[in-house]
Amino acid sequence: MILGEIYLKLTLMFAGLVLLLFLWLIADFKLGRKKHLSMVSLKERPMLLGSLDIFINGKELFSDYFRELEDAKKHIHVLFYIVKDDEFSMRFVSLLQKKALNGVEVRLLVDRIGGYKMTKKIIRQLRESGVHFSFGNSPKPPFLLYSSQVRNHRKITIIDGKIGYVGGYNVGKEYIDEDPVLNPWRDYHLKITGAVVPFLQREFLNDWKGDVHENLLDQASYFPPLTEGEIRLQLGGTEAGLLESIYTGMIKNAKKTLIIGSPYFIPSKKVMYELVRAAQRGVEITILVPLHADHMLVQEASYRYLRRLLKEGAHVFQYRNGFYHAKTVLVDDTVCDIGTANFDKRSIFLNKEINCFIYDQPFIQRIKTILETDIRDSTPLTLQKLNERHFFRSIKENLAGAISYFL
């Protein structure tokens, strides 16, 4: 009898602790999000004139990227979501060390979670060579759960204040097609020159200020005078839900065609509502996603949305020639978005992202040709296939739906 009472008390205590933990996690996330929302606002995106090039192959991108880093004379500012510890990543790290030892100012900011493979030894070597290094967006109290989910997903490089890079590529062997599973890697990354680059510089320096508490925004040497290019574009940094209004606005403006390319397709309720409305008013919607996923449950999380859009007449293609990681939205051949944001709730509500909105017809046609090639290298996904009975897939879909915010 006594043992039974003790067991019951222990069980009730354990259940109480679990309930308290659950309630604490809910409060942490809700209060953390409320604070985050109070700190941000949608900034005006001025129309800028710059010059663009696009890379869709990692080896070609990093060949050009490393060459520009080698040629840097004054300062290099780099932000990546992921830097790994493989041989390719060490080439990148060694190049930054070399430039710092040669007197170039080098700053490297890497997301704290995305850069978890960067060891203390690597960081020590960077700092000893003169590289200014910091992890970005480290989880911190009082909202540990929420802050652990807010990632700096941007990928920005500015060289001498004159050359910029932004897009989907990170630093690791998979991005140059040396991973046996995710190979080849398909992504889109922009190289930017001209009067647009100062905007990228400010975005980096704002993030640097937020994480390092060093304000360099008034340093004129980081903002050399630049001539305007020929391509009309806007750059927009987003976080804490700001991307949702941008996506819904683009979809509302679609009149004929809408193409979305993303490794993860988990739209918010408002974005999904506008997609359905667009399909119902006759907009031809094409969605391009990977055939094989790189993370658990992300594919199953997308099925409920893809199933609804297929019913409305949308076309869905699964890229089969490697892993598709590009992030793009193309509306009526009039505006194209390429950047770091995935078409999912994490990028919409949690991550820090940066996107480039392009309004130049010749360049948009170039991107459209790339998309058409990628669609040809894809397999159509049909409603019939999605509706096939599959016990384990159904379980995964239900689980993915419950945690889709965090995938």
Is 75 designated active site? Answer: no
Q: Taking the CA of residue 223 as centre, how many other CA atoms within 13 Å lie in the half-sphere pointing to its CB?
A: 14
Measure the CA–CA gap between 275 and 24, rounded to whole angstroms.
35
Measure the CA–CA gap between 75 and 222, rounded to whole angstroms.
8
208 Cβ neighbours under 8 A, 6+ residues apart: 77, 107, 109, 134, 214, 216
* Annotated active-site residue in 75, 153, 173, 189: 153
169 Cβ neighbours under 8 A, 6+ residues apart: 55, 58, 61, 62, 155, 175, 187, 189
Please state the φ and ψ torsions of residue 142, each to the nearest 5 degrees. Answer: -85, 0
Is 179 designated active site? Answer: no
* Annotated active-site residue in 189, 327, 345, 352: 327
* Annotated active-site residue in 28, 111, 160, 337: 160
| β-bridge partners, 238 | 353
What is the DSSP-derived secondary structure letter of residue 389? Answer: -
Helix (H) or strand (E) holding 324: strand 323-324
Measure the CA–CA gap between 298 and 303, rounded to whole angstroms.
9
* Annotated active-site residue in 36, 84, 191, 325: 325
* Annotated active-site residue in 332, 333, 368, 377: 332
Cβ(152)–Cβ(80) below 8 Å: no
* Annotated active-site residue in 75, 155, 173, 189: 155
CA dist list (Å): 390 to 110, 137, 300, 305, 385: 40, 40, 12, 17, 10
Cβ neighbours of 236 (radius 10 Å): 21
Cβ(286)–Cβ(315) below 8 Å: yes
- At 366, list the tokens: 């170039």
293 Cβ neighbours under 8 A, 6+ residues apart: 299
Is 327 designated active site? Answer: yes
Is 325 designated active site? Answer: yes
Active-site positions read 153, 155, 160, 325, 327, 332
